[in-house]
Structure 1
Amino acid sequence: MGDTSPAPEGVPERLIRATVGLLAEQGPSAIKARTVASAAGLSTMVVYHHFGGIPELVRAVVDHGFTELGIAFSQVGATDDPIADLFTMALTCRRIARENPHLYDLMFGLSTRATYRPLESDERLSGHSPAFRAAHARVTDACARLVSSGRVGAQDPEVVAAQLWSFVHGYITLELGEHFVEFDDAVMQVLLPMGVNFSVGLGDTRELAQASHEKAARLYESAQPASGTSADA
Structure 2
Amino acid sequence: MDDAGFAAPAGTREDTRMRILAAAADLLAEGGREAVSTRAVGAAAGVQAPTIYRLFGDKRGLLDALATYGITTYLRRKTEHEPGDDPVEDLRAGWDLHVGFGLANPELYALMYGDPRHGSASPAAAAAFEILAEHIGRIARAGRLKVGEERAAQLVHAAGSGTTLTLIALPEQARDPRLSHLAREAVIAAITTDVPVPAPTGPVGAAVALRAVLPETNALTEGERILLHEWLDRIAADDAP
TM-score, scaled relative to structure 2 = 0.67
Please point out which of 189, 196, 204 is paired with 2:193: 204
Which residue does 1:42 correspond to in 2?
A: 47
How far is the alpha carbon of 1:78 from its aligned partner? 0.9
CA distance in 1, matches of 2:158, 2:14: 38
Unaligned runs of 5+ residues in structure 2 are 1-9, 196-241
Partner residue in 2 for 1:71: 76
CA gap 1:53/1:6 in 2 versus in 1, 3 angstroms: farther
Q: Secondary structure at 1:77's aligned position in 2?
A: coil
* Contact kept? 2:113, 2:125, Cα under 8 Å: no
8 Å contact kept, 1:34–1:44:
yes
Q: Which residue in the other structure is 2:223 paired with?
A: none
1:40/1:84 Cα in 2 relative to 1: closer, same or farther (>3 Å)?
Answer: same
Aligned to 1:191: 180
The 1-side partners of 2:59 and 2:152 are apart by 36
Counterpart of 1:171 in structure 2 is 163
Measure how far apart 1:177 and its partner are. 0.6
1:147 partnered with 2:140: yes
Show CA shifts across 1:128-152 (max 9, x none): x3x5433212111111111222334
Identity of aligned residues (%): 23
Q: How does 1:53-68 map to 2 (within 5 A)?
A: 53-68=58-73
1:160 CA displacement: 0.9
- After TM superposition, give the deviation of residue 31 of structure 1 in Å: 0.9
1:87 equivalent to 2:92? Answer yes
- For the structure 1 residues 149 and 179, does the alpha-carbon distance in structure 2 shift closer, same or farther, using more than 3 Å as the test? farther
Report the 3-state secondary structure (helix = DSSP H, G, I; strand = E; otherwise coil) of the residue aligned with 1:66. helix
CA contact (8 A) 1:79 1:85 kept: yes
Separation in 2 of the partners of 1:126 and 1:11? 27
Deviation at 1:198, TM superposition (A): 2.0
Q: CA deviation at 1:25?
A: 1.2
Cα offset for 1:101?
Answer: 1.0
Tell me the alpha carbon deviations over residues 159-207 of structure 1, each in whole angstroms, 9 at most, x when there is no partner.
Answer: 2111111111111010001078556xx23x222122222222224349x
Structure 1: 5+ residue stretches without partners: 112-117, 207-233
Question: One-letter code of the match for 2:169?
Answer: G
Report whether the alignment pairs 1:8 with 2:13.
yes
TM-score (norm: length of structure 1): 0.69
Larger Rg: 2
Q: 1:157 aligns with which of 149, 154, 158?
A: 149
What do residues 36-64 of structure 1 show as CA deviations (whole Å, max 9, x unaligned)? 12222333332223223322212222322
1: CA distance between counterparts of 2:81 and 2:156?
16
Name which of 119, 122, 126 aligns with 2:121. Answer: 126
Q: Deviation digits for residues 85-138 of structure 1, max 9, x if unmatched?
A: 111111111222122211111111439xxxxxx9xx97xx425x3x54332121
